[in-house]
């Protein structure tokens, strides 16, 4: 057994169960990219980024995520379809299978990293992977210790990710051959049967979503965050495709992070050290900072080339998946907060892509409405994005991140309510919460048109600089939302969605339909409505 790279010399590879393979510790991005290309696992694109294919799985598999039921989790985890239980015995068998498989590999790759930019809540992570490009992903996405810190590094949690290790559903207690399992007693995550790298970051995010509320009283959030020139922090919550990464990456504001944050007493902090952005339909004009971040060190997943010889990426191509992705270190973005921390937010934005075309493009929420829409976590899938979807379909993901929430959603909503009640901004102003529709106007998908990004940016800018609050507001009848009558650089006629439809009766019918969907989904949270 050979071991190369920078590591804590007092730590033995055998403590990770490694007995046969050559172990590469904390290799540089250049070395990992070189190994990936040499192995034939990836190609260098015209921009210098590495392009890889994650195989059968091009996204997470929520139905195959498990949590070990034990003394720590039994009475706290919200067990069900989101959090599936697995017994300690089944976990031990599956863990041993992963270790046995690992030791059949010629090489393995180990990465030491941190989660949580606030050192008071920092988690030391050791990521063990089958492929070098998986290790590059871990380098990109987590916080990076310097070389001196690596020589003293001691892990809190270990993540094993071995796509070639397949479960036996009957024997191992899984649903099928792929799996991602969290064990809070052993502080270990095992991933097998899938090479989709997002399982690595979301495994740690799920762990923090359990640990931070229960042990530290910190509110963990699936959101992006940025800071203005006056030091004002803004949060952006939204499901995939709503514009969370796009809208938080603003040349006039410094980025704290694009996906996962904690809200502690007096501050907001990033969990990660990188960004994991969707690239479908990416263009330099629409998203210049993300586009320019895709250079050497970045890793593209499941893209196609429009010019194979010159390795020019076709960002419009969705033959493999709509979920094409890029990971890159956060410092690939020029305009960032280098300590990845900010003050408590002055503005919070809930983003929804309403394909029914009935929600206003911007509205201001009361505290009660903020709780309501946070628990709903609404957006809509559009026709053509998934097989069998021929018309808009409502999607609800509580707290804008249900698949990653081990605790009941109401526990996270209570944390939000507590922060809204107790938190005042640096200017002693109330925290504003806004609902932003990045979807359709003038009709549903196929009849109306997508709200232009330039208008959405103008609305958010007006909310951030305070000019939107100076507008007169009216209340629309279906959702009881407070709508501004004017907004700088936005046509007044598009602010009230009913006015944009050719036929008001058609609008009323579609709004009533969505209203009913909201009410039906919220029934399970009704007891929480007055919190």
CATH at 195: 3.40.449.10
The secondary structure element, H or E, covering residue 499 is: helix 497-500
Q: Which residues partner with 434 through β-bridges?
A: 349, 364
Instruction: Identify the domain boundary among 201, 216, 231.
Output: 216
The secondary structure element, H or E, covering residue 255 is: strand 254-257
Asked, for residue 265, whether it belongs to a domain, the answer is: no
Asked, for residue 48, whether it belongs to a domain, the answer is: no
Give the model's pLDDT for residue 427. 55
- 407's tokens: 């605790």
Is residue 240 part of the annotated active site? The answer reads yes
Task: Please write the tens of the pLDDT for every residue from 42-66.
Answer: 999 999 999 999 999 999 999 999 9
Is residue 457 part of the annotated active site? The answer reads no
Q: Which residues partner with 396 through β-bridges?
A: 378
Pairing of strands 219-227, 157-162: unpaired
pLDDT of 376 higher than 60: yes
Which 3 state secondary structure label does DSSP give 216? helix
Catalytic choice (202, 381, 419, 510) = 202
Domain check: are 208 and 295 in the same one? Answer: no
Is residue 174 part of the annotated active site? The answer reads no
Asked, for residue 178, whether it belongs to a domain, the answer is: yes
Give the model's pLDDT for residue 308. 87
Report how many domains make up the chain.
3
pLDDT of 320 higher than 50: yes
Query: Strands (DSSP E) along 383-431, which ranges?
Result: 393-396
- Cβ neighbours of residue 522 under 8 Å, at least 6 residues apart? 372, 375, 376, 529
Report how far residue 25's alpha carbon sits from residue 343's, in angstroms, rounded to the nearest whole number: 36
Residue 310's CATH number: 2.170.8.10
- 137's tokens: 């992903």
Q: What would the mean pLDDT of 121-130 be, rounded to a whole number?
A: 98
Task: Please write the tens of the pLDDT for every residue from 231-285.
Answer: 999 999 998 778 888 899 888 999 999 999 999 998 999 999 999 999 999 999 9
Catalytic choice (64, 172, 250, 259) = 259
Report how far residue 262's alpha carbon sits from residue 268's, in angstroms, rounded to the nearest whole number: 6
- 109's tokens: 């790759």
Nearest CA among 121, 456, 476 for reference residue 287 = 456
Report how far residue 335's alpha carbon sits from residue 94's, in angstroms, rounded to the nearest whole number: 43
Catalytic choice (65, 201, 222, 419) = 222
Domain check: are 146 and 283 in the same one? Answer: no
Task: Please write the tens of the pLDDT for every residue from 497-513.
Answer: 999 999 999 999 999 99
The band of 387, judged by pLDDT with boundaries at 50, 70 and 90, is very low
Give the model's pLDDT for residue 55. 95
Nearest CA among 515, 521, 528, 499 for reference residue 411 = 528
Domain check: are 170 and 292 in the same one? Answer: no
Domain check: are 349 and 327 in the same one? Answer: no
Domain check: are 27 and 75 in the same one? Answer: yes
Is residue 341 part of the annotated active site? The answer reads no
Domain check: are 151 and 13 in the same one? Answer: yes
Q: What are phi and psi of 302, to 5 degrees?
A: 65, 30
Domain check: are 25 and 128 in the same one? Answer: yes
Which is more confident, 433 or 243? 433
Other C-beta atoms lying within 10 Å of the C-beta of residue 159:
27
Domain check: are 127 and 24 in the same one? Answer: yes
Is residue 524 part of the annotated active site? The answer reads no
Domain check: are 386 and 470 in the same one? Answer: yes
In the block, which residue shows the tokens 């021929």? Answer: 390
Catalytic choice (13, 35, 58, 60) = 60
This prediction has a pTM of 0.93
The band of 386, judged by pLDDT with boundaries at 50, 70 and 90, is very low
Is residue 222 part of the annotated active site? The answer reads yes
Nearest CA among 335, 322, 68 for reference residue 180 = 68
Catalytic choice (58, 73, 129, 245) = 245
The band of 392, judged by pLDDT with boundaries at 50, 70 and 90, is confident
Residue 425's CATH number: 3.90.228.20
Determine contact, residues 91/171, Cβ cutoff 8 Å: no
Give the model's pLDDT for residue 96. 98
Asked, for residue 509, whether it belongs to a domain, the answer is: yes
Catalytic choice (84, 90, 261, 325) = 325
pLDDT of 474 higher than 70: yes
Percent of the chain residues topping a pLDDT of 90: 88
pLDDT of 77 higher than 80: yes
Domain check: are 9 and 140 in the same one? Answer: yes
Nearest CA among 63, 56, 57, 54 for reference residue 174 = 63
Report how far residue 445's alpha carbon sits from residue 432's, in angstroms, rounded to the nearest whole number: 30
Using left for φ > 0, alpha for ψ between -120 and 50, and beta otherwise, residue 528 falls in alpha
DSSP of 308-349, one letter per residue? Answer: TTTTEEETT--SS-S--EEEEEGGGSSSB-TT-EEPSEEEEE
Domain check: are 351 and 499 in the same one? Answer: yes
Give the model's pLDDT for residue 423. 65
Catalytic choice (3, 240, 321, 467) = 240
Domain check: are 494 and 380 in the same one? Answer: yes
Q: What would the mean pLDDT of 470-497 be, rounded to a whole number?
A: 96
pLDDT of 385 higher than 50: no
Is residue 261 part of the annotated active site? The answer reads no
Asked, for residue 273, whether it belongs to a domain, the answer is: no
The band of 390, judged by pLDDT with boundaries at 50, 70 and 90, is low
Q: Over the chain, what is the mean pLDDT?
A: 94
Is residue 104 part of the annotated active site? The answer reads no
Asked, for residue 223, whether it belongs to a domain, the answer is: no
Asked, for residue 450, whether it belongs to a domain, the answer is: yes
Determine contact, residues 226/255, Cβ cutoff 8 Å: yes
Report how far residue 219's alpha carbon sits from residue 56's, in angstroms, rounded to the nearest whole number: 34
* Structure letter (DSSP) for residue 366: P
Asked, for residue 108, whether it belongs to a domain, the answer is: yes
Report how far residue 399's alpha carbon sits from residue 419's, in angstroms, rounded to the nearest whole number: 14
Q: Which residues partner with 129 through β-bridges?
A: 109, 161
- Cβ neighbours of residue 436 under 8 Å, at least 6 residues apart? 247, 349, 350, 351, 352, 361, 362, 456, 459, 460
- Domain range for 151 is 3-41+58-216
């Amino acid at each position: 057994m050979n071991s190369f790279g920078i590591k804590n010399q007092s730590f033995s590879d055998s403590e990770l169960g490694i007995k046969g393979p050559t172990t590469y510790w904390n290799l540089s991005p250049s070395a990992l990219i070189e190994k990936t290309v040499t192995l034939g696992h990836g190609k260098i694109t015209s921009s210098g980024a590495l392009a890889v294919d994650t195989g059968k799985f091009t996204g997470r598999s929520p139905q195959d995520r498990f949590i070990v039921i034990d003394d720590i989790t039994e009475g706290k985890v919200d067990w069900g379809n989101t959090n599936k239980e697995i017994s300690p015995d089944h976990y031990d068998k599956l863990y041993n299978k992963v270790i046995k498989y690992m030791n059949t590999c010629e090489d393995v790759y180990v990465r030491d990293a941190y989660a949580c930019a606030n050192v008071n809540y920092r988690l030391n992570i050791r990521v063990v992977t089958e492929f070098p490009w998986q290790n590059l992903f871990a380098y990109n996405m987590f916080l990076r210790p310097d070389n001196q810190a690596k020589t003293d590094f001691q892990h809190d949690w270990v993540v094993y990710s071995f796509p070639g290790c397949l479960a036996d559903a009957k024997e191992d207690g899984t649903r099928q051959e792929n799996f991602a399992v969290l064990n809070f007693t052993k502080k270990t995550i095992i991933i097998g049967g899938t090479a989709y790298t997002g399982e690595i970051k979301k495994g740690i995010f799920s762990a923090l979503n359990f640990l931070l509320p229960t042990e530290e009283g910190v509110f963990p959030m699936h959101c992006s965050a940025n800071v203005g020139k006056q030091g004002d922090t803004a949060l952006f919550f939204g499901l995939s495709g709503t514009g969370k990464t796009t809208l938080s990456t603003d040349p006039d504001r410094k980025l704290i992070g694009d996906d996962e944050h904690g809200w502690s007493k007096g501050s907001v902090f990033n969990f990660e050290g990188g960004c994991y952005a969707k690239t479908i339909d990416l263009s330099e004009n629409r998203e210049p900072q993300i586009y320019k971040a895709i250079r050497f060190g970045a890793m593209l997943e499941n893209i196609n080339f429009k010019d194979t010889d010159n390795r020019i990426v076709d960002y419009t191509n969705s033959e493999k998946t709509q979920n094409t992705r890029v990971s890159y270190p956060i410092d690939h973005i020029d305009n960032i907060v280098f300590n990845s921390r900010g003050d408590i937010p002055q503005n919070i934005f809930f983003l929804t892509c309403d394909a029914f075309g009935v929600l206003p493009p911007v509205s201001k929420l009361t505290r009660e409405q903020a709780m309501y829409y946070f628990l709903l976590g609404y957006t809509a899938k559009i026709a053509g994005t998934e097989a069998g979807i021929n018309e808009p379909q409502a999607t609800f993901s509580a707290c804008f991140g249900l698949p990653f929430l081990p605790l009941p959603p109401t526990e996270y909503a209570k944390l939000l309510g507590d922060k809204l009640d107790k938190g005042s901004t640096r200017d002693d102003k109330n925290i504003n919460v806004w609902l932003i529709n990045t979807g359709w106007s003038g009709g549903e998908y196929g009849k109306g048109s997508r709200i232009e990004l330039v208008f959405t940016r103008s609305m958010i800018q007006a909310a951030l600089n305070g000019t939107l609050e100076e507008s007169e507001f009216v209340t629309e009848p279906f959702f009881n939302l407070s709508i501004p009558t004017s907004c700088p650089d936005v046509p007044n006629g598009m602010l009230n969605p009913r006015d944009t439809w050719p036929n008001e009766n058609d609008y009323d019918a579609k709004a009533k339909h969505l209203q009913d969907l909201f009410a039906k989904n919220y029934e399970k949270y009704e007891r929480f409505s007055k919190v």
